Amino acid sequence: MNILVTGAAGFIGSHLVRLLVNKYPNYTIVSFDALTYAGNLANLADVKDAPNHRFVKGNICSEEEVKNALEAYQITDIIHLAAESHVDRSIEGPMEFVHTNVVGTVNLMNQARAYWKTNEGHTFYHVSTDEVFGSLGEEGFFTETTAYDPRSPYSASKAASDHFVSAYYHTYGFPIKRSNCSNNYGSHHHPEKLIPLMINNILTNKSLPVYGNGTNVRDWLWVEDHARAIDVIFHQGAIGCNYNIGGWNEWTNIDLVHELCSIMDEQLNRQAGESAQLITYVKDRAGHDMRYAIDATKLHEELGWKPSITFEEGLRKTVQWYLEHQDWVNDVTSGSYQAYYNTMYKDR
């Protein structure tokens, strides 16, 4: 197989590339990334010289760049993770999300259809999010048949891309697979996201901004478990299938922040409760979904996948990674991140 992984220098993409390169030495893994603010070649440093790995700088919205990559590396399969993914950014500027997440996805499928010429022997795997399902009440879970109800420009753009992927399967017989995952956490996560933001701000004694009253609930999935799930679905899932990937692991935002504060107090030899004094409640996000929770039963029963680590274990591993890789954090948090942080939280 010659697999093109889009968004490969990003958070989830880099973990997936690392798994595929190391697990399948007979495959050629082609990392395709536009290297926007969330894409970082340092995320791929440990596999960049692997004999079965190639990197191509390219934009999924460019017909020419996608076409050239497919032809140059005789791509047989695509795993598509490239996306604009931050809800706050989508509220500030939705058009970029429409362009990348919707137009980019359709362009990828069009170029793949033209290059492959036949649907046999190929897979286009589209990685999506649980946010397309909207907001849950206090009970219940998202399943593969839950109706879509996106509440933010980001989730609307991902929902639209999901619908296009499904439409190409039904209209053209295009060989798709799809998964919708819950919130990921782990190493190499851009510091604009909740967990690395809190770790970095605790370390530097900055305020810990919590939206509203902090009672919004999210289901957390260790990114390496997500990569394992994608691997299993890609190889064993049927064409046309879709699976939900979740951690069976619900936490309110405020409880998660307190857990991080406790771990960081231990790691930094601070007094218990010292880091929690940095918590600041800020104006709630517009259209903030109350609760997400994934039912991953189908994936477990049909393909045998389940999380390999508890959240507490994964969170400690994550904290340790950030503390040991401050050079990576400092590089990422300079420039665009700092300007963004100042804009989003300074006056709230």
Q: Is the pLDDT of residue 18 over 70?
A: yes
% pLDDT > 70, the chain: 96
pLDDT at 191: 86
Beta pairing class for 250-252 and 53-57: unpaired
Tokens of 91: 């509220």
pLDDT at 300: 97
Confidence band (pLDDT; 50, 70, 90) for 345? very low
CATH for 2-184+220-245 is: 3.40.50.720
Cβ atoms 112, 173 nearer than 8 A: no
| pLDDT at residue 341 is higher than 70 | no
**Contact by Cβ (8 Å): 225, 309:** yes
Structure token pair of residue 67 = 């076409």
Per-residue pLDDT for 25 more than 80?
Answer: yes
- Count the Cβ atoms, other than its own, within 10 Å of residue 137: 7
Name residues whose C-beta falls within 8 Å of residue 55's C-beta, 6 or more positions apart in sequence: 8, 9, 30, 31, 33, 41, 44, 48
Q: How far is the C-alpha of 169 from the C-alpha of 176, rounded, in Å?
A: 6
Token output for 196: 């690395």
pLDDT band of residue 37 (cuts 50, 70, 90) is: confident
The residues of the chain that CATH labels 3.40.50.720 are 2-184+220-245
Among 130, 262, 253, residue whose Cα is nearest residue 195? 253
pLDDT score of 335: 56
* C-alpha to C-alpha distance for 192 and 40, rounded to whole angstroms: 14
Instruction: Please check the confidence at residue 294 and state whether its pLDDT lies above 90.
Output: yes
Q: What is the mean pLDDT of residues 285-298?
A: 91
What is the pLDDT averaged over residues 19-25? 98
More confident residue, 236 or 284: 236
- In the chain, CATH 3.90.25.10 covers 194-216+250-291+310-339
The answer to whether residue 242 scores a pLDDT higher than 70 is yes
User: SS3 breakdown of the chain: % helix, strand, coil, rounded to 5?
Assistant: 45, 15, 35
- Of 200, 216, 209, 204, which Cα lies nearest the Cα of 319? 200
Task: Return the closest-CA partner of residue 123 out of 27, 260, 4, 268.
Answer: 4
**Residues recognised as catalytic:** 130-131, 154
Kindly write down the DSSP assignment for every residue of 20-47, as one continuous string: HHHH-TTSEEEEEE---TT--GGGGTTT
* Spatial CA neighbour of 34 closest among 2, 12, 11, 65: 65
State whether residue 51 is helix, strand or coil.
coil
pLDDT over threshold 90, residue 93: yes
Least confident of 156-170, 219-233, 284-298: 284-298
pLDDT, average across residues 298-318: 96
Mean pLDDT over all residues of the chain? 93
Summarize pLDDT for 166-209 with one digit per residue, the tens: 999 999 999 999 999 999 999 999 888 899 999 999 999 999 99
CATH assignment of 194-216+250-291+310-339, given 3.90.25.10, 3.40.50.720, 2.130.10.10, 3.90.226.30? 3.90.25.10
